[in-house]
Amino acid sequence: MSAKLLLDSFDRKILDCLQDDSDMPLAEVARRVGLSTTPCWRRIHRLKEEGVIRARVALLDRRAVNAAVTVFVAVRTAQHNAQWLARFAKAVASFPEVMDCYRMSGEIDYLIRLALPDIDAYDAFYKRLIARIELSDVTSMFAMEEIKSTTRLPLSYLS
């Protein structure tokens, strides 16, 4: 995305609508933001081309697909080189259970969020992970309750 991309109030409203429902019909998006369909479509197309809209996806119910257990995995490593990081990133990307993976500051090197059906599935994941990459320490935390989970990004920080 261009660092100098300017988003006006119409763009922000379009993004707000699409974060609510990416399947919203173009005519409805246009009506909500106060544009006719052609200029609205052009803006959506520009937002896609500029990389502001990365993808339009369906959000699935985790229970319906038997992946209701959220596990956070804190990883520490003694390896801090580009080769190890490339191998780690490739390994993590290959696991469908991995929802997010972040390189962290502080005491934890990496934080992984998993979606799984149960503890047995976590154990299987753990064994596959340590078979693929050497780690110094792995700490797992099982979420007991989901207080808030969203894919909606705040738009109030746009300049």
Asked whether residue 1 carries a pLDDT value surpassing 50, the answer given is no
pLDDT tens per residue, range 90-138: 999 999 999 999 999 999 999 999 999 999 999 999 999 999 999 999 9
What is the average pLDDT across 130-150? 96
pTM: 0.88
Closest CA to 75 of 115, 106, 117: 106
The mean pLDDT value of the chain amounts to: 95
pLDDT at residue 40, as a whole number: 98
What is the average pLDDT across 16-37? 97
pLDDT tens per residue, range 60-96: 999 999 999 999 999 999 999 999 999 999 999 999 9
In the chain the first and final C-alpha atoms are separated, in Å, by 15
What is the average pLDDT across 45-58? 95
Q: Which amino acid is at 34?
A: G
Rounded to 10°, the helix 9-20/37-49 angle is 80
Asked whether residue 20 carries a pLDDT value surpassing 50, the answer given is yes
Q: What CA–CA distance (Å, rounded) separates 75 from 32?
A: 45
